[in-house]
Structure 1
Amino acid sequence: MAETEGGPFVVVPHDALSYWSATEGGYDRACEVVELVGVLALPGDAEALVLGDEPLSTAYLSEHRVLVH
């Protein structure tokens, strides 16, 4: 289980990690997502999933391959 005190969770595919940088504007872009779930475009046709900016718990259930937010 992972928790936040207000910042969004960003889920980036392993093969796109080299395109993600929270320190080079990525975090600011993630914070611009106003919905509970959003998508950020990354270079190379990759995408990152942004999970809400609320203080919520999130868990990954590997046996079901699902994120619960």
Structure 2
Amino acid sequence: MTFRWLETEGGPFVVVPHTWLPHWSGRAGAYDRACAVMDFVGVLALPGGAETLVLGDEPLPTAYLPEHQVLVRWC
């Protein structure tokens, strides 16, 4: 099994459903709230009643396994 690892340059990963992507700006206010998540996982409210998953704590390499519908992180 081959993983496609994704990495950030220090910020958290934000998982937004495709249909709600227009509600995520990634600008200062939203990005700052995402960076404030100190646990491994958090949820942020978005405009229009949407929510986004934040993979917080450390900026760990992350992969998505669609056959299992799971995110894995390298620790």
Give the TM-score normalised by the residue count of structure 1: 0.88
CA displacement at 1:4 relative to structure 2? 2.7
Contact 2:13 2:59 in 1 (8 A): no
Aligned pair count? Answer: 69
**Percent identity (aligned):** 71
Shift of 1:55: 3.0
Out of 18, 22, 25, the residue aligned to residue 26 of structure 2 is: 22
Q: CA deviation at 1:24?
A: 4.6
| Deviation of 1:53 (Å) | 3.5
**CA–CA separation in structure 2 for the residues paired with 1:46 and 1:55:** 24
Q: Aligned-pair distance for 1:65?
A: 1.0
- Unpaired segments ≥5 residues, structure 1: none
RMSD of aligned alpha carbons: 1.3
TM-score relative to the length of structure 2: 0.82
Q: Is the 8 A contact 1:60 1:66 kept in 2?
A: yes
Residue aligned with 2:10, SS: coil
Stretches of 4+ aligned residues off by more than 2 angstroms: none
Larger radius of gyration: 2
Is there any run of 5+ residues in structure 2 with no aligned partner, and where?
A: none
